[in-house]
Amino acid sequence: MKNIYRISGVILVILSIFLIYSCKKKEKLMPPALITTAVNEISFTTATSGGDITDIGGAYVTARGVCWNTSVEPTIDNNKTTESGGLGAFTSSLTQLAPGTKYYVRAYGTNVAGTGYGNEIMFTTQSSPIIFNPNLTYGTVTDIDGNVYKTIIIGTQTWMAENLRTTKYKEGTAIPLLTDNTAWANLITPSYCWYSNNATTYKNTYGALYNWYSVNTGNLCPTGWHVPSYDEWTTLTTYLGDAIVAGGKLKETDTIHWTTPNTGATNESGFTALPGGNRSYDGSFSYIGYYGYWWSSTEYALTSDAYYRYISFKSSSMSKGNYHRRSGFSIRCLKD
């Protein structure tokens, strides 16, 4: 009788083990669970991130890393790093990024059940530094916002060597910032914006885009400076050998900011012209990297227009024209 009980007990133990094993086998495997760690060491073209796998999902993690893209919810079909598998924290290096660009990054982990993703983090790479002429001596001027600009003497004139980026008039009053396209198209009062409404990417390098109504206040530039007139722009191009060659002598060299071929660019003047693009009178943005547009303070015969100057990526000249005052162009200030 005792033997029967012993045998029954052994059978029950075996059955229990079998049932537990069977339940585990039937347990559904899941992709790994993880978090994305903060992005740091951000440069012009690189950054560092990583992740922490908190649950392997019931199966060994065969690969892990981070994936990134310029649009939301990046996946392993986009750019990615691949680190060795396992549980816990890891670090990854993001490379070959574009300067001054917004990216989205997520950590990922892969097992036999699939790929799991961590939380999404957005970051922006540093903008490429402006290439000033290293053979010239620059001065500085500071605006009401505390922005410091390089300045350069060209002939009898002293110019800012950077585009204006103030958000206030020189006496401290805020300039209206306008992002809505329809509102911009209908506006006939002073306003400014950042290209694509993205100050993080464009402010420090390209400055702001101002409509001509803000120019006409006479208060945009720092005290002792002003927006140049049509004739003062002509003085500049004449000194550089006429408008047909002045564009090349004014443009920043290389093709970091200017689109190839950046024809004739020498920046021998030190002006360091940049292709900040424009905001059209309909509110749309265009031509960054291709053209630089700068307002003059001079009205055109048509009451809807004012004079401006522009430089192209494919020409050595500085051209002139007139355009609608609702348009957003860059500003270079000239010393009084």
DSSP notation for 110-139 = EETTEEEE---EEEEPPPPPP---TTS--E
48-66 pLDDT, tens per residue? 999 999 999 999 999 999 9
Give, to the nearest 10 degrees, the angle between helix 230-239 and helix 243-250.
80
> Are 333 and 222 spatial neighbours (Cβ–Cβ below 8 Å)?
yes
- Higher-pLDDT residue of 219, 24: 219
Q: What is the pTM of this model?
A: 0.70
> Are 186 and 174 spatial neighbours (Cβ–Cβ below 8 Å)?
no
Q: In the predicted model, is pLDDT for residue 4 greater than 60?
A: no
How much is the mean pLDDT over the chain?
Answer: 91
pLDDT bucket at 24, cuts 50 / 70 / 90: very low
Q: Give the residues across from 273 on adjacent strands.
A: 251
- Higher-pLDDT residue of 204, 216: 216
Tokens 């002598």 found at: 249
* Predicted local distance difference test score (pLDDT) of residue 102: 85
286-321 pLDDT, tens per residue? 999 999 999 999 999 888 999 999 999 999 999 999
State the burial class of residue 95 (Cβ atoms within 10 Å of its Cβ: 0-12, 13-18, 19+): exposed
Q: In the predicted model, is pLDDT for residue 231 greater than 50?
A: yes
Q: In the predicted model, is pLDDT for residue 1 greater than 60?
A: no
DSSP 195: G
* Mean pLDDT value across residues 23-27: 49
Query: Is the omega angle on the peptide bond into residue 261 within 30 degrees of 0, that is, cis?
Result: yes
Upper half-sphere CA count for residue 275 (Cβ side, 13 Å): 24
Q: In the predicted model, is pLDDT for residue 71 greater than 70?
A: yes
Q: In the predicted model, is pLDDT for residue 267 greater than 90?
A: yes
> Are 301 and 263 spatial neighbours (Cβ–Cβ below 8 Å)?
no
Count of CB atoms within 10 A of residue 142's CB?
10
Q: Give the domain 33-124 fold.
A: Immunoglobulin-like (2.60.40)
Q: In the predicted model, is pLDDT for residue 160 greater than 70?
A: yes
Tokens 């065969």 found at: 62
State the burial class of residue 10 (Cβ atoms within 10 Å of its Cβ: 0-12, 13-18, 19+): exposed
* Predicted local distance difference test score (pLDDT) of residue 27: 60
Q: In the predicted model, is pLDDT for residue 21 greater than 80?
A: no
Tokens 């980026």 found at: 165
95-130 pLDDT, tens per residue? 988 777 889 999 999 999 999 999 999 998 877 789
Give the whole-angstrom CA distance, residue 312 versus residue 67: 37
pLDDT bucket at 244, cuts 50 / 70 / 90: very high
Domain-by-domain residue ranges, the chain?
33-124, 139-335
